[in-house]
């Protein structure tokens, strides 16, 4: 087996490899790397080949910290490797560590699509990874099998969910596919949804760049539920290969009696099936659900607070609960890692740290243009 840095000429082969992975791993597609590059990350794709065929790989995202004194390395929904294959795992990880160390990375964060089991945790521990308290991708979700007939998929839902879908149809709610002109409306509903949940929202530029990079490749679609000309709910869905996921969603705090969210998700499921997808990931339910299942405990039928309302809504559509191992870190510099960990504790996520770096870079670039002394090495973004 050999590991090599992939070039743009390898993009088609790489995407075919990613699309064939048994889990939804769009964040490993080269279009996702292009999207993150527009936000001043660097994407490096590493492939492990055996007999000229890709058998493992990883898209490593590198983010220079303020003043370029160090960086962080991140592999979202990866690496893509059979962790039980010691040779492939070792070959890939050695190449990833080489790339990360050359970029002066403080640590390497990975979020493999690896089921949460004692055996999986032992495999990660054996490779020097430690659990991280900062997870970007959902650890727990529900995956719906789209291979049966639509009537069977519908029958596998709860009675109340089926009733809500029918109510939405009777009430005159309609679902249409959107385009770039609908992004401002989509963003407004996202903002309102995040505000209700008490969560920070991303910038409009983030979603616009994501749409620009992925929609052109057919990997992102926007759906809007409307009533009497008003948009009540939105869903931005991603697809890759035979898998789909509900990436982003939002709704108004009014008109719940019309049941637009139930009808919207049902139409998204139907659309994904029509595109040839075999699975649909509802993309995120409370981690507590996975923790309870991993301990063999019963999931409460009525629980309030946090994201439990989201869980009860999504559970009504059927499907299988999945629970991943979550984010794990490999530390290259323990003193700097402790400093980074303290900074992340204040900011709350790696994305916020990256946004802080971008703002600092823009400010320094502005002062440099105005003749104010600054760091000449800071790249303009």
Identify the burial level of 129 via C-beta atoms within 10 angstroms of its C-beta, where 0-12 means exposed, 13-18 middle and 19 or more buried. Answer: buried
**Cα dihedral value 48, 49, 54, 56, nearest 10:** -30
Percent of the chain with pLDDT over 90: 80
Tokens linked to 146: 């789209």
pLDDT score recorded for residue 351: 60
Tokens of 64: 């220079």
3-state DSSP assignment of residue 145: strand
* pLDDT 10s digits, 174-230: 999 999 999 999 999 999 999 988 888 889 999 999 999 999 999 999 999 999 999
| Rounded-to-integer distance, Cα 41 and Cα 54, Å | 25
What is the pLDDT at residue 353?
Answer: 60
pLDDT in tens, 283-304: 999 999 999 999 999 999 989 8
Looking at residue 374, its pLDDT comes to 31
Distance, in Å, from the CA atom of 345 to the CA atom of 348, rounded to the nearest integer, reads 5
Give, for 185, the enclosing helix (H) or strand (E): helix 183-197
User: Mean pLDDT, to the nearest integer, of 317-327?
Assistant: 97
The SS3 assignment for 226 reads strand
* Nearest-angstrom CA–CA distance, 78 and 17: 13
- Residues 158-177 have pLDDT tens digits of 999 999 999 999 999 999 99
Per-residue pLDDT, averaged over 128-141, amounts to 93
């Amino acid at each position: 087996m050999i590991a090599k840095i992939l070039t743009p000429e390898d993009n088609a082969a790489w995407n075919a490899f990613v699309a064939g992975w048994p889990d939804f791993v769009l964040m490993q597609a080269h279009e996702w790397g292009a999207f993150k590059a527009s936000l001043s990350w660097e994407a490096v794709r590493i492939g492990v080949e055996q007999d000229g065929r890709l058998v493992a790989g990883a898209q490593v995202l590198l983010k220079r910290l303020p003043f370029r004194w160090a960086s962080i390395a991140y592999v979202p929904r990866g690496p893509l490797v059979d962790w039980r294959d010691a040779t492939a795992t070792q070959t890939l990880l050695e190449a990833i560590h080489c790339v990360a160390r050359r970029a002066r990375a403080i640590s390497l964060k990975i979020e493999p699509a690896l089921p949460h089991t004692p055996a999986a945790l032992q495999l990660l521990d054996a490779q020097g990874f430690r659990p991280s308290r900062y997870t970007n991708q959902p650890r727990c979700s529900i995956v719906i099998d789209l291979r049966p007939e639509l009537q069977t998929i519908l029958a596998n839902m709860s009675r109340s969910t089926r009733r809500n879908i029918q109510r939405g149809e009777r009430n005159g709610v309609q679902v249409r596919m959107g385009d770039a002109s609908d992004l401002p409306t989509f963003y407004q509903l996202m903002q309102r949804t995040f505000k209700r949940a008490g969560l920070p929202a991303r910038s409009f530029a983030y979603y616009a760049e994501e749409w620009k990079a992925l929609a052109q490749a057919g990997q992102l679609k926007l759906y809007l539920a409307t009533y009497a000309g008003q948009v009540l709910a939105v869903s931005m869905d991603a697809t890759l290969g035979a898998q789909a996921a509900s990436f982003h969603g939002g709704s108004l705090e009014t008109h719940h009696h019309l049941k637009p969210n139930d009808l919207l998700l049902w139409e998204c499921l139907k659309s994904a099936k029509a595109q040839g997808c075999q699975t649909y990931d509802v993309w995120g339910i409370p981690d507590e659900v996975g923790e309870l299942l991993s301990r063999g405990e019963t999931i409460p039928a009525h629980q309030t607070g946090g994201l439990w309302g989201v869980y009860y809504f999504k559970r009504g559509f059927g499907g299988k609960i999945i629970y991943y191992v979550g984010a794990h870190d490999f530390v290259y510099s323990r003193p700097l890692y402790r400093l980074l960990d303290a900074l992340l504790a204040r900011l709350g996520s790696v994305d916020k740290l990256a946004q802080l770096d971008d703002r600092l870079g823009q400010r320094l670039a502005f002062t440099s243009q105005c003749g104010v002394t600054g760091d000449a090495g800071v790249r303009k973004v």
